[in-house]
Chain A
Amino acid sequence: MERVTVALVDDHPVVHEGMRSWLEQDPEHRIELVAAADSVDAVLTGPGRDADVLLLDLNLDGHMAIEEVSRLADAGRRVVVYSEHTDYATVLAVLERGAFTFLAKREAREHCVATILAAADDQPYVPPLSAGTMAADERPDRPLLSEQERTALLLWFQSKSKAAVAARMGIAESTVRQYIQRARIKYANAGRPAPTRTQLLARAIQDGLIRADEVTEYSSRASA
């Protein structure tokens, strides 16, 4: 099997080392870190230009690179935002701008492999903190989640264990996973248009998470 390639944009060399070691802890070594640099341009002009997934630290040189997320998503890059700025507004802003997901630095060790593999395969994956943020979302124009979907997100954030969530909700673990993925797809469906979003939705239709006729046009939502 071909290895998934990932490029890292972060201005702390220590983070590069840490990420390398976490990726190597995957017993099947499915992910290869092909580039690591301290700016988006440095990564994209070097060996990282063809990486399957881009890990982007939001805080570069003391300012927040939230607009970079839109630019990269428009260019068709699968961006996993990777940051310690875990406040509600930042997480939602990043998802809104077409990032594949938001991975908090404190949960990177446990979740980076699963997140990167899912991104490379265009499958939704929601790390716990993003799940909690979606469960807390109260914006008036937020995607409408079902009660079950929201509960699954909330409990997943609390317990970090889909088995425990399944036990709490009295449902199968696969159903828990499906609720969480459906919630993520609803967010993708509501976000601004981007090639990555189209890929995510296409894959979701293929996997039966969502029906083709449930996909809404961004423009219609914006005018609604």
Chain B
Amino acid sequence: MPATGSRAAREAFERLLARCAVGLRSGAAAAGGAAALAGLAAPAAAGSVAVAVVLGTAWAALHAAVLLHRWRPWPVLADVAVTAGLCLGQGWLVPAAVLPDATSWVFLVASTTVIVAQLAPWPALGAVATMVVPAAYAGGLALAPGVELPGAVVLLVVQGTLVAALLAVLRRAVRAADLAIAQREAAEREAAVSAARRAEEREHYRMLHDSVSATLTVVAAGGLPASSPVLRTQARHDLQVVEQLHEPVVPARHGDLRRWLEPVLAGARSSVVGGATVLDAPVPPEVGAALAGAVTEALTNVVRHARPAQARVHAGPADGGGVTVEVADDGAGFDTDLVPASRRGISESLVGRMAAVGGTAAVSSVPGLGTRVVLTWPAAPALPVPPEPPEPPVSAVPAVPAVPAVPAVPEPADRPRAGLGEVIAVRYRHGFDLGVIWLVAAWHVGNDLFAMVTSAPAYRSMVVVVLAWLTLAGVAVAGARRLLRRRVDPGGAWLLAGVALAASVAGTAAVPGEAIFTGAAWPWGAAGWFGALILLRRPPAELVGFILANSAATLVLLGSDGALDRVAAARFATVLYGTGALQLTVLLAARALDATARRAAATAEAEAEVRRVREIADELHAGRRDRYSTVHQSVAPLLSGLASGELDPGDREVRHRAAVAASRLRRLFAETDDVADPLLHELRACSYIADQRGVLVDLQVVGRLSGLDRPARRALTEAPLLALAGAERHARVTVVGRSDEVAVSVLVDALAPAPVTPVAVTDAAVTVTVLDASDQRWVEARWRG
């Protein structure tokens, strides 16, 4: 099955990031513009600032309009260009006092442009922004007279790098989500495809069972002494049935229960089924197939464990709709509390099989009193009509409109698969948590620690600042632990938020008023990140409150120092946006993750459904071709001879050929059954015709049979099948299994009347040895792994 990579989680996530980008960039344009006009001072002239603000706002609106539609590279690059221009012109747009700091409105816009570029799905563009914007910023400062290169340029680079790293972590989590979707889809598709294939196989085999197989079985058993018009007509009809294997099966949407169960009961050994009553009840094909498989397994189980025992089967409509099938044996039973693993496996597989079609299976047993298996399927509440299949066999389907050519449509497309959204959401959340924790840690060390050390001489009290830094580090560790352990209780969150706020205010209070807009005031700027970490899973209002409280405290400190003028207020607003907007965006994005995951799941489902339908159609087509060639090769020459009257059914050789052909058909039917031990099941099918002819077949098995695939099993059973077709009265069939070797031997009391062309099975791992004596033939087929 080809791997089909899903991009649903990735695409939904990119759309979320685009919304974040639009929010941040528009906010920056608005806040920056307001600050620019409010904090107007020389050398910035009202005219040039107004032009820059109008143009910047217009561009932000265009940028938003494009990105809300979808990510494109050009608006990202254009934004870098526009911002670079702004940076170069900042000598004419920003008051002189503000120029050296990271508090000018141009810095706000530059910082946002760098961050937004990292959100784009092209990391290379992010890198371009991280290089070009700070360079332009430095260039703009160089053009302005008397300003040295400030830390703001470095800050831009640091911001770009940190956000790029955060996004790398997030995108890895998103890729993991897509991988999980793809794996899950592949498994589900495989199950659906194989269910559809089996359903069609069973339907085809049912047709063959009632026609070709029945005819050949009668001929093999010597039931027809001579050719007759009835036989010739039947053989012609049977040939037509073989030709129909080319065509897709069109089962009735609701077939009846008997049609599914009767072949199973007829196929089981008569010694096992002690009695059966099967009443008509409508079931969809996939339910019929599931019930047939479950009953086969329950009966096999009776043979394997409960011997000597007989099972009674009751099947029919259940009270209140749906159907119930009960298989009860009178065997040894078992203690349900002391179930051996093998047995538990069987009841689990029955449960799984029924659950797949919305039914249930219950296994109850009492030691000494036998075992009872009850399978129920409640009638579904009006199944929605499945989509039209891609391969409408119009010519082959007269008068059955609106019926899918794909049998057993696995699940209606509009029924959401429970949990896929949750699978994606878990990975999103995991990535987000790790990203935020990483970001806070990097910020606290890379920015805060660095700023604290370099600004040490400026502080009123170095001890207070160091204590604030340590306290915030402790808060980050505690917050990270809470996040990873999924703790969302308000008590712990508020306590940590209070501690973080106190540390930030205390640290900021140690900064003299004139340094409040420099890197030295890192506690004020950093607090927002700690708030985001602590309150990530709390309502957004709490983070807004936290950021406002922190800023209000700073404002009070600023006022008490007498440093609050018009320019300072504008700078304050700039910093407020810079220290709150991104943090709040992260929190809002975290809250949108579950909805994004649900959207990704829905997309993935829809895509998977398309692939599923296509693959089912391909698989069914290939299956039909193989089936036709296998069946045609094995029965067509014989049926043609019988149809034309050329072959005499009374002839010993013809009877033998019929026995071989009928046995091969039986084996083919048995191959579709889902049983624990397929090789034994198929060997029994190979023996069935001999059994019908009155041959005593003694089957003995020792050892463990390894999981041989279908072609290997067919190669292994072909020679024994031919030998069994030649048996007169007795046949001894033995199977000896080891992990590296399986030997199937047949000892029969007569030589075949004539050689029969073996079906061309070439399996290098299987060798066949034949030893003929005067009165017996000994055939051994051995597989070596």
Contacts and interface: CB of A to CB of B under 8 A. Distances in A.
Interface of A: 62, 86, 88, 91, 106, 129, 132-133, 135-138, 154, 157-160, 164, 167-168
Interface string B569-581: 0000000000000
B773 A157 contact: no
B471 interface: no
A135 B702 CA distance: 9
Contact of B704 (A62, A88, A91, A132): A88
A52 B258 CA distance: 59
Interface in B698-721: 698, 700, 702-704
A158 B703 contact: no
Nearest to A132: B702
A138 B769 contact: no
A216 B305 CA distance: 38
Interface of B: 368, 698, 700, 702-704, 732, 734, 736-739, 743, 745, 747, 769, 771, 773, 778, 780
Contacts of A154: 736, 743
Contacts of B368: 62
Contacts of A138: 703-704, 738-739
B702 A88 contact: yes
B700 to A, nearest CB: 6
B773 A136 contact: no
A159 B747 contact: yes
Contacts of B745: 158-159
Contact of B703 (A106, A136, A159): A136
Contact of B732 (A91, A135, A160, A168): A160
A158 B780 contact: yes
Given A132-B700, A167-B771, 7 more contacts: A88-B704, A91-B702, A106-B698, A129-B700, A138-B703, A158-B732, A159-B778
Contact of B736 (A62, A135, A159, A168): A135
A133 B701 CA distance: 9
Given A88-B703, A157-B736, A164 B769 contact: no
Given A88-B704, A159-B745, A164-B778, A132 B736 contact: yes
A136 B738 contact: yes
B702 A164 contact: no
A106 B704 CA distance: 21
Contacts of B747: 158-160
A164 B734 contact: no
B770 to A, nearest CB: 10
Contacts of A135: 702-703, 736
30 contacts: A62-B368, A86-B700, A88-B703, A88-B704, A132-B734, A133-B702, A133-B703, A135-B702, A135-B703, A135-B736, A136-B702, A136-B703, A136-B736, A136-B738, A138-B703, A154-B743, A158-B734, A158-B736, A158-B745, A158-B747, A158-B778, A159-B747, A159-B778, A160-B747, A164-B771, A164-B773, A164-B778, A167-B773, A168-B769, A168-B778
A88 B703 CA distance: 6
A112 to B, nearest CB: 17
A164 B778 CA distance: 9
A136 B734 CA distance: 12
Nearest to A104: B700
Contacts of B704: 88, 136, 138
A157 to B, nearest CB: 6
Contacts of B702: 86, 88, 91, 129, 132-133, 135-136, 157
Contacts of B780: 158
Contacts of A158: 732, 734, 736, 743, 745, 747, 778, 780
A106 B698 CA distance: 10
Complex A-B, nearest 10 residue pairs according to Cβ-Cβ distance, in ascending order:
A136-B703, A158-B745, A132-B702, A136-B702, A133-B702, A158-B734, A136-B736, A138-B738, A132-B736, A168-B771
Contacts of A160: 732, 747
Majority secondary structure of chain B interface residues (helix, strand, loop or mixed): strand
Given A158-B780, A159-B778, A136 B737 contact: yes
A136 B738 CA distance: 6
A135 B782 CA distance: 14
A136 B782 CA distance: 13
Contacts of A159: 745, 747, 778
Nearest to B744: A158
Contacts of B732: 158, 160
Nearest to B734: A158
A126 to B, nearest CB: 13
A154 B745 CA distance: 10
Contacts of B743: 154, 158
A159 B723 CA distance: 14
Contacts of B698: 106
Contacts of B739: 138
Contacts of A106: 698, 700
Nearest to A107: B700
A159 B368 CA distance: 37
B589 to A, nearest CB: 57
A138 B706 CA distance: 12
Contacts of A132: 700, 702-703, 734, 736
A91 B780 CA distance: 24
B707 to A, nearest CB: 15
A157 B368 CA distance: 33
B185 to A, nearest CB: 39
Which of B698, B704, B771 lies at the interface centre, i.e. has the most chain A CB atoms within 10 A of its CB? B771
Which of A86, A157, A158 lies at the interface centre, i.e. has the most chain B CB atoms within 10 A of its CB? A158
Contacts of B738: 136, 138
Contacts of B703: 88, 132-133, 135-138
A159 B745 CA distance: 8
Nearest to A153: B736
A206 to B, nearest CB: 31
A129 B745 CA distance: 14
A91 B700 CA distance: 14
A62 B335 CA distance: 14
A157 B734 contact: yes
A134 to B, nearest CB: 9
A224 B743 CA distance: 32
Contacts of A137: 703
A168 B773 CA distance: 11
Nearest to A168: B771
Nearest to B733: A158
Nearest to A136: B703
Contacts of B773: 164, 167
A133 B368 CA distance: 29
A62 B368 CA distance: 9
Contacts of A133: 702-703
A140 to B, nearest CB: 12
A63 to B, nearest CB: 11
Contacts of B700: 86, 106, 129, 132, 157
A152 to B, nearest CB: 13
A69 B203 CA distance: 52
Contacts of B734: 132, 157-158
B364 to A, nearest CB: 20
B734 to A, nearest CB: 5
B687 to A, nearest CB: 16
Nearest to B779: A158
Contacts of A62: 368
B296 to A, nearest CB: 22
Contacts of A157: 700, 702, 734, 736
A133 B703 CA distance: 6
A164 B732 CA distance: 14
B203 to A, nearest CB: 37
A86 B732 CA distance: 16
Which of A129, A133, A138 lies at the interface centre, i.e. has the most chain B CB atoms within 10 A of its CB? A138
A53 to B, nearest CB: 24
Nearest to A163: B773
A106 B368 CA distance: 24
Nearest to B737: A136
Contacts of A164: 771, 773, 778
